[in-house]
């Protein structure tokens, strides 16, 4: 008989994690299909040579989300790393455009909410 306590993520945290996982999987598929020519994309937004890099970041993000589902700290580090890598890739490959302050604010707010929801569970991560 297994006497271990079943760990469970909170409903809000699980919802955000599920959202991240779905977006990362769909993003990786989109980037790979666009890179292969099977999916159309806007070349002014996405440079062709950046598509495999974005796909790799999305795949790392999906794996990191899975790590968090499995209560692994490396998943948190990986997810934070994908956010940093995305910013670096955007700086290098995305043409300069007016700064969308509302989108930046909402993205930062989502990251803060994610970490605030994760904080109570941090000690239980392996």
**pTM beyond cutoff 0.95:** no
Domain-wise residue ranges, the chain? 11-124
Q: Which residue has the higher pLDDT, 19 or 46?
A: 19
Q: Does pLDDT of 98 surpass 80?
A: no
- Render pLDDT for 49-60 as a digit per residue (tens, 0 to 9): 899 999 999 999
**Residue-wise burial string across 10-48, b where 16 or more C-beta atoms lie within 10 A, e elsewhere:** eeebeebbeebbeebeebbebbbebbeeeeebeeeebbe
Distance CA 18, CA 14 (A): 6
What's the pLDDT score for residue 104?
A: 80
What's the pLDDT score for residue 6?
A: 65
What's the pLDDT score for residue 2?
A: 47
């Amino acid at each position: 008989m297994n006497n271990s306590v079943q760990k469970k993520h909170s409903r809000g945290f699980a919802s955000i994690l599920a959202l991240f996982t779905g977006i990362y999987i769909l993003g990786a598929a989109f980037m790979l299909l666009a890179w292969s020519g099977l999916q159309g994309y806007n070349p002014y937004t996405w440079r062709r040579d950046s598509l495999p890099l974005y796909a790799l970041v999305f795949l790392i993000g999906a794996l990191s989300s899975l790590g968090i589902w499995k209560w692994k700290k490396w998943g948190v580090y990986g997810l934070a790393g994908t956010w940093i890598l995305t910013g670096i890739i955007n700086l290098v490959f995305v043409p300069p455009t007016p700064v969308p302050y509302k989108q930046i604010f909402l993205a930062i707010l989502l990251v803060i909410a994610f970490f605030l929801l994760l904080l109570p569970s941090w000690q239980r991560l392996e």
